[in-house]
C-alpha cells in the first residue's frame, strides 16, 4: 500500500529546482505563483478565473487564465488537497483533518464549515449547485445537498484512501483510490460498488470522464485504465512512462493531459488511445492539470510551481478546409454562464439538428434544424433563465449522431 505522494515544500527545494525550470520545453511556460507551498489542485471557473490550493491552507486566485496569481486568506493552516466549484461563485476546498472551507464570491473570501470528519479529505465533485461529494482517507465519502454548507457520511465498501471522485451525471459517479480501488454508483452515491481493475497492488490517483461512457483513470508507475461503459469495466492502456501519474484532465474527447512525479507530462490527441511524453523542464512533482480554456493548460505542483501551455489550433475554428469526418467539439467555455459556443464539423452538406436536454432527458432548446453546407460551424447556446447543472447537447446529421455534456454554473 502506498499513499499519495506529497513532497515537503521549502525555499531550498524551490531553489534546487529553479535551474531545471528554466530549461522547460518552449511549449510549457513557468509562471510566478508567489508561493513556495506545494500546490495540490487547480480548478478554473471559466477561461480566466482560476483557483489553486495547497500546503499550509494556501489558496491562490488567478483572473487571467493562470498567468498571474494572488494569495487569498483561507482562514486555515491545514493542507488543502482539492478545490471544486458548484457555481461560478459557490465552491469548496478540502484537505487534512476533515477541513472544508467554502466560498460564495468566486474564491475571494472563505469560511470554514464542519465536515463532521477528522479524515484527510482529497477529491471533490459537484453535479449541480446543491449536490456534491467529497472523498478521503479510510474510505471516507461525504455528501452535501445544500451547496457545501452541511455534509453527511455515506456507506463505503472499502477502508482504503480514496483520492478522486467524478460524476458524469446526477446519478452515475466513480471514485478511485489505493490498492487499485475503483468504486461506482448509479444512484447518486446512496450505494457504491467495487469494480474489478486487475491492479490490486497499485494506487489510482485520478479519474476523468470524457463523456458519459468513456473515462480514464491514472496512477502509480504510469498506470492507465480506460472504461467505455461508464465505469462498469476497465481495461489496461500503455502510457509511455513508469512515473506515477497524479492527475488527468481532458478538454474534449480527443485532447487530454496527465501529469505526475519528476515533472512528468504526457498528452494525447486521440482520446487516450496513444500518448506522447512532453518536457516540463522540471523535476518537481506536478499534482494537478486543468484546461483553463480551449487553448490553455495549467499544471501546478511542488514548491508552488505553476506551468502553462498554449495550444495551437485548439478551438476548432473553420480554416476553410472541408473536414474529412463529422465532429462535435466540447462547448467553450465550459462550465459557462449564461452563454457558450458549440462547434461542429460536416464533411458534406446535409440536414443538421442540434438540441439541448436536461439530465431527465427533456429537451430544453433546439439550436439548429436546417440544411447546412460542408465545413466547420458554430452555434451559441444562451441560457439566462436555466438552472445550474449538467446538460446534454446532441447533434444528428444524416446517420451521424453524437452527444456531449456541458455544465451551467450560475
- Give residues with Cβ within 8 angstroms of 209, minimum separation 6: 166, 168, 174, 215, 216, 231
Instruction: Give helix then strand counts, H and E, for the chain.
Output: 1, 35
Q: What number of residues does the chain have?
A: 410
pLDDT in tens, 187-215: 999 999 999 887 788 999 999 998 888 99
Give the H/E segment covering residue 12: helix 11-21
User: Which pLDDT score is estimated for 376?
Assistant: 82
CATH class of 327-408: mainly beta
Domain 11-310 adopts which CATH fold?
A: Methylamine Dehydrogenase; Chain H (2.130.10)
- Range(s) of the chain covered by CATH 2.130.10.10: 11-310
Predicted TM-score (pTM) of the model is 0.77
pLDDT in tens, 120-176: 999 999 999 999 999 999 999 999 999 999 999 999 999 999 999 999 888 999 999
Which residue in 135, 120, 110, 126 sits closest to 51, CA to CA? 110
User: Which pLDDT score is estimated for 365?
Assistant: 92
User: Which pLDDT score is estimated for 311?
Assistant: 73
Do residues 389 and 129 touch, judged by C-beta distance below 8 A?
A: yes
CA trace torsion 277, 217, 333, 406 (10° rounding)? 150
Neighbours of 370 (CB within 10 A): 7
Cα separations in angstroms, 373 against 104, 313, 323, 360, 376: 45, 22, 11, 32, 9
Task: Scan for cell 461560478, then name that residue.
Answer: 88
Q: Could you say which residues of the chain have pLDDT below 50?
A: 1-25, 313-319
Which residue in 5, 3, 4, 1 sits closest to 285, CA to CA? 5
Do residues 102 and 84 touch, judged by C-beta distance below 8 A?
A: no
Task: Scan for cell 492507465, then name that residue.
Answer: 224
- Range(s) of the chain covered by CATH 2.60.40.1930: 327-408
Cα separations in angstroms, 261 against 20, 110, 285, 300: 14, 30, 4, 12
Do residues 232 and 183 touch, judged by C-beta distance below 8 A?
A: no
User: Which pLDDT score is estimated for 321?
Assistant: 52
User: Which pLDDT score is estimated for 14?
Assistant: 38
Amino acid at each position: 500500500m502506498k499513499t499519495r505522494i506529497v513532497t515537503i515544500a521549502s525555499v531550498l527545494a524551490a531553489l534546487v529546482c529553479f535551474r531545471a525550470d528554466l530549461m522547460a520545453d518552449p511549449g510549457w511556460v513557468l509562471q510566478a505563483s508567489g508561493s513556495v507551498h506545494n500546490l495540490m489542485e487547480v480548478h478554473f471557473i471559466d477561461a480566466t478565473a482560476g483557483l489553486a490550493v495547497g500546503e499550509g491552507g494556501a489558496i491562490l486566485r488567478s483572473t487571467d487564465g493562470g498567468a498571474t496569481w494572488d494569495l487569498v486568506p483561507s482562514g486555515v493552516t491545514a493542507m488543502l488537497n482539492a478545490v471544486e466549484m458548484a457555481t461560478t461563485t459557490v465552491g469548496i476546498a478540502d484537505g487534512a483533518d476533515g477541513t472544508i472551507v467554502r466560498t460564495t464570491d468566486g474564491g475571494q473570501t472563505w469560511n470554514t464549515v464542519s465536515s463532521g470528519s477528522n479524515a484527510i479529505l482529497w477529491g471533490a465533485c459537484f453535479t449541480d449547485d446543491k449536490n456534491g461529494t467529497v472523498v478521503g482517507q479510510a474510505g471516507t465519502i461525504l455528501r452535501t445537498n445544500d451547496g457545501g454548507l452541511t455534509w453527511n457520511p455515506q456507506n463505503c465498501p472499502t477502508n482504503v484512501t480514496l483520492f478522486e471522485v467524478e460524476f458524469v451525471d446526477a446519478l452515475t459517479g466513480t471514485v478511485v483510490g489505493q490498492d487499485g480501488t475503483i468504486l461506482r454508483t448509479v444512484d447518486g452515491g446512496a450505494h457504491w460498488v467495487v469494480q474489478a481493475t486487475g491492479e490490486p497492488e497499485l494506487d489510482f490517483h485520478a479519474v476523468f470522464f470524457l463523456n458519459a461512457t468513456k473515462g480514464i483513470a491514472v496512477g502509480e508507475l504510469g498506470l492507465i485504465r480506460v472504461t467505455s461503459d461508464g465505469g462498469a469495466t476497465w481495461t489496461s492502456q500503455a502510457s509511455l512512462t513508469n512515473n506515477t501519474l497524479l492527475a488527468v484532465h481532458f478538454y474534449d474527447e480527443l485532447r487530454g493531459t496527465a501529469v505526475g512525479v519528476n515533472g512528468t507530462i504526457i498528452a494525447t490527441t486521440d482520446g487516450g488511445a496513444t500518448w506522447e511524453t512532453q518536457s516540463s523542464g522540471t523535476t518537481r512533482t506536478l499534482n494537478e492539470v486543468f484546461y483553463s480554456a480551449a487553448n490553455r493548460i495549467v499544471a501546478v505542483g511542488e514548491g508552488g510551481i505553476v506551468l502553462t501551455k498554449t495550444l495551437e489550433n485548439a478551438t476548432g475554428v473553420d480554416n476553410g478546409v472541408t473536414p474529412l469526418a463529422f465532429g462535435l467539439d466540447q462547448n467553450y467555455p465550459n462550465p459557462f454562464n449564461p452563454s457558450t459556443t458549440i462547434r461542429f464539423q460536416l464533411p458534406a452538406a446535409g440536414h443538421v439538428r442540434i438540441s439541448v436536454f436536461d439530465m431527465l432527458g427533456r429537451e430544453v432548446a433546439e439550436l439548429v434544424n436546417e440544411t447546412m453546407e460542408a465545413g466547420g460551424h458554430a452555434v451559441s447556446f444562451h441560457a439566462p433563465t436555466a438552472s445550474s447543472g449538467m446538460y446534454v447537447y446532441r447533434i444528428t446529421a444524416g446517420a451521424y449522431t453524437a452527444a456531449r455534456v456541458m455544465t451551467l454554473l450560475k
